[in-house]
Amino acid sequence: MNSANIVGRVGQNPELRYFESGRVLAKFSIAVNRSNRSDQPNWFSVELWGKTAEVAANYLRKGSTVGISGSLKLDEWTDPNTGEVRSRPVIKGRRLELLGSKSADSNYPNSSTPNDF
């Protein structure tokens, strides 16, 4: 079973992309603290599709606290400069939980949003 659940802070405002097919994709990074606060956080790339992507673009900002449920995939590519194979973990989100306080942003919705794959 491939299941990932993470809670962390958004690293940059989501980047929204619309496709000719009508589908929409949001991409952003999330920093997840380790158990030892003195360690650097783990960084993950996140991809959200459909209405969940639009919610992310409308309500998430750099520093927002968010929960993501989905699956883990590994993006791999060849670095054009060195020829080395590179990889990075990506969370393909299915569910988005907006965890910031309402007082911090009056436009924050109060429920989670399932993805519409």
Burial zone of 14 (CB within 10 Å; 0-12 exposed, 13-18 middle, 19+ buried): buried
Residue 77 has pLDDT above 90, yes or no: yes
pLDDT confidence bin for 83, thresholds 50/70/90? very high
* 19: CB partners within 8 A, 6+ apart: 25
DSSP single-letter state for residue 11: S
Choose among 68, 71, 72: nearest CA to 113: 68
Residue 111 has pLDDT above 80, yes or no: no
The CATH homologous superfamily for domain 4-114 is: Nucleic acid-binding proteins (2.40.50.140)
Choose among 40, 47, 41, 49: nearest CA to 8: 41
Q: If you count them, how many residues does the chain have? A: 117
